[in-house]
Chain A
């Protein structure tokens, strides 16, 4: 059947990137509280140069996740990031919709 072509599939992109020899991290929304822009299970994938595909919020915290991903790509150690209105950093990066989210960021190891 025809693939939906209006958006790229983040996990397919991640696999393609790894096969090109790029370092790739997968960020996944693992928990949400209150009003969260993207549901649990949503993916954002990031490469070593900061290219990304997909989303874990409506654009509010992607910048911070991409920043953390650089670290995780280097160390290979997965991390859980939390963003919400109670968190000053998160507020600064803008999850202003009032919700809280937890995001798992892990490296794809070949």
Chain B
């Protein structure tokens, strides 16, 4: 691999874009394809398949034996709401290997003291998402209980194809949320992707237990779904 390819690959990874590298094992020539950038016609099909499956491996193309490596952005969690559940979730997510960021415009909640060591942004989600857009490799967890804060990031997460969108609230609360999301112009199919009540049904009661249920549900969404196409894999 030449340095320019390595640098371009690292730049794509840093900016959270999926990338694939084809290496011809005869000549040791490498070709890089980055999601959202132009890619030579001969590579498009293999690139699409690789990004969909996320699986690297040997492929045959044009009678040549190639190694295809796939680089998907690491999954991250964006939590809307600097609440008690988020305090527990932030600690557990770090152990499970997820990057996590918390957004909450309510400065009384979003204090460094309550969230030591966690990336915390005390601002409105719509302002933050303008400069830090959501992507398919992000899980959105909305837990403020306040439609003024939760609804817009939920809408944005569904539009961006986030691999997980969960929202706190009872079935009744969610029913009124569904109505509001419809008024925002979302299809029923998109709205059905919102996990609510949030978290796997393990009878969780305390904030920490609910955080376990949410994290487990995020892991399930990540591992059982094709995070690029959004289609459910057979169980």
**Cross-chain contact A15 with B6 (CB below 8 angstroms):** yes
**Cross-chain contact A11 with B25 (CB below 8 angstroms):** no
A34 at the interface (CB under 8 A from B): no
**Cross-chain contact A30 with B67 (CB below 8 angstroms):** yes
Candidates B3, B25, B76; contact of A18 at CB < 8 Å: B3
**Cross-chain contact B69 with A28 (CB below 8 angstroms):** yes
**Cross-chain contact A110 with B10 (CB below 8 angstroms):** no
State in angstroms the CA–CA spacing of A1 and B13 once bound together.
13
B175 at the interface (CB under 8 A from A): no
B57 at the interface (CB under 8 A from A): yes
**Cross-chain contact A2 with B6 (CB below 8 angstroms):** no
Report B82 CB to chain A, min CB distance, Å: 16
Query: Which residue in chain B gives the minimum CB-CB distance to A3?
Result: B99
Binary contact track B4-47/A, C-beta < 8 Å → 1, others 0: 00110110010010000001010010000000000000000000
Given contacts A1-B101, A26-B1, A108-B1, contact A31 B58 (CB under 8 A): yes
Binary contact track A2-35/B, C-beta < 8 Å → 1, others 0: 1110100101101100100000001010110000
Chain A residues contacting B16 (CB-CB under 8 Å) are: 1
**Cross-chain contact A106 with B74 (CB below 8 angstroms):** no
Candidates A11, A104, A109; contact of B23 at CB < 8 Å: A104
Binary contact track B67-82/A, C-beta < 8 Å → 1, others 0: 1011000101000000
Interface size on A, residues (CB 8 A): 25
Given contacts A104-B23, A109-B2, contact A40 B10 (CB under 8 A): no
Chain B residues contacting A28 (CB-CB under 8 Å) are: 23, 67, 69
Chain A residues contacting B28 (CB-CB under 8 Å) are: 77-78, 106
Report A12 CB to chain B, min CB distance, Å: 6
Contact residues of B: prevailing secondary structure = mixed
**Cross-chain contact A11 with B6 (CB below 8 angstroms):** yes
State in angstroms the CA–CA spacing of A7 and B227 once bound together.
24
State in angstroms the CA–CA spacing of A17 and B181 once bound together.
50
Report A73 CB to chain B, min CB distance, Å: 13
Given contacts A15-B6, A18-B3, contact A2 B99 (CB under 8 A): yes
11 pairs of residues in contact across A and B, judged by CB atoms under 8 Å: A1-B76, A11-B13, A15-B3, A15-B6, A40-B55, A41-B70, A78-B28, A108-B2, A108-B3, A109-B2, A109-B3
State in angstroms the CA–CA spacing of A80 and B100 once bound together.
38
Candidates B23, B58, B67, B99; contact of A1 at CB < 8 Å: B99
State in angstroms the CA–CA spacing of A52 and B193 once bound together.
44
B207 at the interface (CB under 8 A from A): no
Report B191 CB to chain A, min CB distance, Å: 27
State in angstroms the CA–CA spacing of A80 and B27 once bound together.
12
**Cross-chain contact A40 with B1 (CB below 8 angstroms):** no
State in angstroms the CA–CA spacing of A87 and B40 once bound together.
39
State in angstroms the CA–CA spacing of A14 and B132 once bound together.
28
Chain A residues contacting B119 (CB-CB under 8 Å) are: 1-2
Report A33 CB to chain B, min CB distance, Å: 12
Chain B residues contacting A2 (CB-CB under 8 Å) are: 99-101, 119
**Cross-chain contact A12 with B10 (CB below 8 angstroms):** yes
**Cross-chain contact B99 with A110 (CB below 8 angstroms):** no
State in angstroms the CA–CA spacing of A80 and B67 once bound together.
11
